[in-house]
Amino acid sequence: MIQRIGVAALILAIGACASSEPQRSDDPFDMSGGRYIGASLDRALAEAAKHKLGTEKNPVRAEMPPGQRAYLNRLRCSNGVAPKYERAGNLGAGAFGSIVDAYVLRCDGGAPAESTVIMDMYFPGYVETKPVDGFTIVAP
């Protein structure tokens, strides 16, 4: 009887690991790479890399609002000036399972005149070094 229960538990565990559903952290305070964890996060990162940075399918990763602002402050418009920006709000769950924010950027006298950047602030310690399309970036 004990062996049957053990085998059944093992089968259920294997089935859960093989599930196509993303593995999510249920801890509301878990801010270690969005809400996806383990292999689900690895798959989400690989999928995101196929898309332009700063979009809903590949949000810029940062550590909390200070990390978002630090990234935006390092961007440069075509005229070499940092864009002005404001947070437009959150868009709900993004590519990594956590809530993403939209920022509107404006380049006075430069290009792009206006653009929107999507960011995910739930990546502790992560500092993005690549610019979003249309911008250059200075080193952190």
Q: Which pTM value belongs to this model? A: 0.77
pLDDT in tens, 96-127: 989 999 999 999 999 999 999 999 999 999 99
Q: How far apart are CA 71 and CA 127, in angstroms?
A: 8
Which two tokens mark 9?
Answer: 């538990």
Which two tokens mark 125?
Answer: 């310690």
Residue-level pLDDT at 22: 52
pLDDT in tens, 47-62: 999 999 999 999 999 9
Q: How far apart are CA 137 and CA 11, in angstroms?
A: 50
Q: How far apart are CA 72 and CA 68, in angstroms?
A: 6
- Vertex 99 angle, CA 25 and 13, to 5°: 20
Strands (E), the chain: 60-61, 75-76, 84-93, 99-106, 114-120, 136-137
Q: Cβ-count burial of 103 within 10 angstroms (0-12 exposed, 13-18 middle, 19+ buried)?
A: buried
